[in-house]
């Protein structure tokens, strides 16, 4: 059996905990973890660990992206076309930033034992996927972080500049 690989992803903020994302859930796509194969078998309470973060500071997570484009044509390139010596430049910049903050984080996790994994693999929906899709990969949620008293802030920036100069 292949060694398990850990993947981390930020769940969509509109999904409440223990609804379409829950511990023990099996799914086939890392892009769509909330599309589960079936309801997971119950997890023995002795295997579930809950960790409260009681830190004196807020938790935050930033995601940002930016794009820019600069285009310029100088007098040397245009001198063959027109007798003037123009310089032309255009620039555009665009950026977005998303910040998530929370006053408290709660981590719930479990380490599935062989009995639990055998129960999952014996489920009808899992067997159908394994027979139909070869090779197939199954993922299981073994830990979740839930943010309480959280906020989401989005900032979008856009700038555009033009420059022209004619020397003649």
Does 19 fall in a domain? no
Residue found by looking up tokens 């799914």 in the block: 27
Q: Is the pLDDT of residue 144 over 80?
A: yes
Residue 5 forms part of a structural domain: no
Residue 100's domain comprises 26-167
Cβ of 45: how many Cβ atoms within 10 Å?
7
**What pLDDT score was predicted for residue 42?**
92
Whether the per-residue pLDDT at 81 is higher than 80: the answer is no
**Domain assignment of residue 46, yes or no:** yes
Whether residue 160 lies inside any domain: the answer is yes
User: Is 16 part of any domain?
Assistant: no
Q: What is the mean pLDDT of the chain?
A: 80
**Residues near 92 by Cβ (< 8 Å), separated by ≥ 6?**
68, 69, 159, 160, 161
User: Does 21 map to a domain?
Assistant: no
The structure tokens listed for 165 are 């100069």
Q: Which segment of 8-12, 18-22, 45-49, 88-92 scores lowest on mean pLDDT?
A: 8-12
Domains of the chain: total: 1
């Amino acid at each position: 059996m292949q060694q398990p690989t850990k993947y981390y992803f930020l769940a969509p903020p509109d999904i409440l905990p223990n609804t379409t994302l829950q511990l023990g859930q099996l799914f086939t796509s890392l892009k769509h973890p909330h599309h589960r194969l079936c309801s997971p078998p119950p997890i023995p309470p002795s295997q579930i660990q809950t960790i409260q973060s009681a830190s004196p500071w807020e938790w935050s997570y930033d995601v940002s992206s930016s794009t820019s484009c600069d285009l310029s044509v100088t007098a040397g390139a245009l001198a063959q076309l027109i007798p003037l010596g123009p310089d032309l430049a255009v620039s555009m910049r665009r950026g977005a930033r998303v910040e998530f903050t929370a006053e408290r984080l709660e981590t719930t996790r479990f380490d599935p034992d062989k009995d639990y994994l055998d129960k999952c693999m014996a489920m009808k929906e899992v067997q159908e996927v394994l027979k139909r899709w070869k090779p197939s990969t199954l993922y299981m949620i073994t830990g979740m972080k839930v943010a309480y008293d959280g906020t989401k802030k989005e900032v979008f920036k856009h700038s555009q500049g033009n420059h022209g100069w004619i020397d003649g």
